[in-house]
Amino acid sequence: MEASGKKPAHDLIPELKAGNGGRDIPIDEWRSIIGSYEHCVAYGTLFWPDFVEYEDCVFFDHGNGAASMANNYKGFMAQTNGDKAAVEAVMNHRHILDLFPNAKQEASREMILYVGRLLKEMWQVKLDRDFPNRKITVSFPDDHADDLLAYEITFFQEEHLR
């Protein structure tokens, strides 16, 4: 364990031992064996996403157009009685476990926490860079949860908090 109490990335990838007769493979070597440029591009959109402004809110840019955004936004605004922070939080939330629903290996709590913490750091840096005049909070509560699906990440603007 690292000083922070979280496992190093190397310890979260069982294949690093299994793929070399029980001897460790360095992460860089393993990545060069199993990775691809297509994977890199896809993961890049997860770790460094595009964002869009709509009605003074900030959302993930899914490229679906304003009409799709407008319908979802209006529906959530009605459900939350106009609470923009709640609308941002719900429209931007992601369950970490749902990021890879067809994964070959079942995710461990340590994997979920590692990914959630990494996304939190990266999204915060990206949002701060893209929107320097806004105070946007990326939230990933990493308290113990019995159900791994409970680990979710989201972001919202603090100025919209009531």
Look up the pTM and report it.
0.87
Q: Is residue 11 part of a domain?
A: no
pLDDT beyond 60 at 3 = no
65 occurs within a structural domain: yes
Report yes or no on 13 lying in a domain: no
What is the chain's mean pLDDT, rounded?
89
Q: For 84-99, what is each residue's pLDDT tens digit?
A: 999 999 999 999 999 9
Structural domain includes residue 18: no
pLDDT at 154: 98
Per-residue pLDDT tens for 130-151? 999 999 999 999 999 999 999 9
Domain that holds residue 110: 36-160
**Got the DSSP string for 101-150?**
TT-SSPPPHHHHHHHHHHHHHHHHHHHHHH-TTS-EEEE---S--SSGGG
Rg (CA), the chain: 18
Return the pLDDT at 93.
97
Domain total of the chain: 1
Please report the sign of the dihedral spanned by the C-alpha atoms of residue 30, residue 32, residue 34, residue 37: positive
Distance of alpha carbon 18 from its chain centroid, rounded? 28
Q: Is residue 26 part of a domain?
A: no
